[in-house]
Amino acid sequence: MSSEFASKLAQSQAAKSGLIEDLEDTAFFIDKVGKDVISDVTTNIIRGPLIAYTHQMALAFDMPLINGVDSGPVWNPQSMKWENGLTDLLLPDGKKLLLVPKAIVRHDLHLSQSDYYRNHLVPRLQSEEEADPRSRLVTVLKSGKRKVYRREIEEKYGRKKPDVRRETLERPDVYRHFKEIKSRVAPDVMSHADLSAASDTPPPDYRELLQAILDTPVGNADANRYHARVEALLTALFYPSLIMPEMEHEIHQGRKRIDITYTNHAKGGFFDFLIRHKVPVQYIFVECKNYGHEVANPELDQLSSRFSPLRGKFGILACRSFKDKDRFLARCRDTSLDRRGFVVALDDDDMSRLVDDVTAAINWTPPATPPKQPEVPPRIEDYPLLRERYRLLVS
């Protein structure tokens, strides 16, 4: 954090009055502070976790890390000090690169100054002027109602940052109410389309990712390749509901491993449905079986043995095919009814169905002729196949 920023923060009347409670507040009350400055400061504060995430992703995707690279300033929350050290980092073109989880990337700040001004501060100023019998901004309508127009407020009070700051310091309750409202709703996660547009990169090609799985030869020799390709497809399909894929995650002091572990970040759709129905789903587990023979009880028991109330009790068993799919789905139901967790089995055909459902949701358009009953647009995060399989487990 630059000394200039720290000095401005220390001298800010908003900070002294308690209006500045977190970093994003500074964009409202300190000159020359916007999303770029806040992004830089945030990166410095969370540099340690970002380095750890970069290590995790580099290991998962076989990206070369360079030893002995200066970490840059890392905040130590225990000592409350900035520290520097040597670490392993990605160095494309000789420049240090930190990877950032997509789920925390934002196109803009959550606290929008234009939103605050337009929908909170201006209405307060209008109501004050309308209540003032001496106000020259009031227009009396034919109905007798006193009305102050927005343009009159902008002309008298201004709308630039110093103007907003000045009027807010005189009415701190308006800003506190605005923040209370914003705190009730988490900021939206950027979609694949948003990220693609912002980074000028193509969005995931679900068909191509699926075809890579279908083209993988069955058998132990290609198990790792199948594992990686399943992760690539599911990570694309399930984002942003499931994030932070971790390959070969160890539990029980390394005595057991889970092929793929996702953090459940769902705010709607199927994985949020599980949360609302009290299913332990802090993490979602995936086991991959590239077998040339039938998966059976041992594979089912292996996945359910990874479950716990603290980690989660929902998992996906990815495999190539079944000789008797109905029989295996019945075994999954037995596991559920025995309270050993919920296992959804997905073979190659099911993977194709998942891709079809997500693609249909993305490409959905309303019918040209409105139907008698309003049609609810499909949502990517609903994953109807998973909901069908879950319903079988609990019926």
| Percent of the chain's residues with pLDDT above 90 | 60
Which amino acid appears at position 181 of this protein? I
Q: In order of start, what are the domains of the chain with their CATH numbers? A: 3-104 (no CATH), 113-183 (no CATH), 206-394 (3.40.1350)
One-letter amino acid of 391: R
Q: What's residue 55's pLDDT?
A: 93
- pLDDT of 367 reads 80
Q: Which two tokens stand for residue 272?
A: 């949020």
Burial 336-345 (b: 16+ CB within 10 A, else e): beeebbbbbb
- What's the pLDDT at 345? 95
Residues 6+ apart with CB under 8 A from 377: 361, 364, 366
DSSP H stretches of helix in 248-364: 269-276, 297-304, 325-337, 348-363
pLDDT of residue 336 exceeding 90, the answer is yes
pLDDT confidence tier of residue 114, bands split at 50, 70 and 90: very high
pLDDT tens per residue across span 169-178: 999 999 999 9
Q: Is the pLDDT of residue 1 over 60?
A: no
How far does CA 292 lie from the centroid of its chain? 36
Peptide bond into 217 cis (omega under 30): no
pLDDT at 295: 85
Nearest to 176 by CA among 31, 41, 14: 14
Work out whether strand 81-83 and strand 74-76 pair parallel, antiparallel, or are unpaired. antiparallel
User: Rounded to two decimals, what is the model's pTM?
Assistant: 0.82
Look at residue 328 and tell me whether its pLDDT is greater than 70.
yes
Q: Judge contact between 50 and 99, C-beta under 8 A.
A: yes
Among 215, 251, 219, CA closest to 233: 215
Q: How confident is the model at residue 103 (pLDDT cuts 50, 70, 90)?
A: confident
Contact 84, 70 (CB under 8 A): yes
Greatest Cα-to-Cα distance within the chain, rounded to the nearest angstrom = 87
Q: What is the pLDDT of residue 76?
A: 87
The full DSSP string for 132-171 is -TT-SS-EE-TTS-EE--HHHHHHHH--SHHHHHHHHHH-
Cβ neighbourhood burial of 335 (10 Å; 0-12, 13-18, 19+): buried
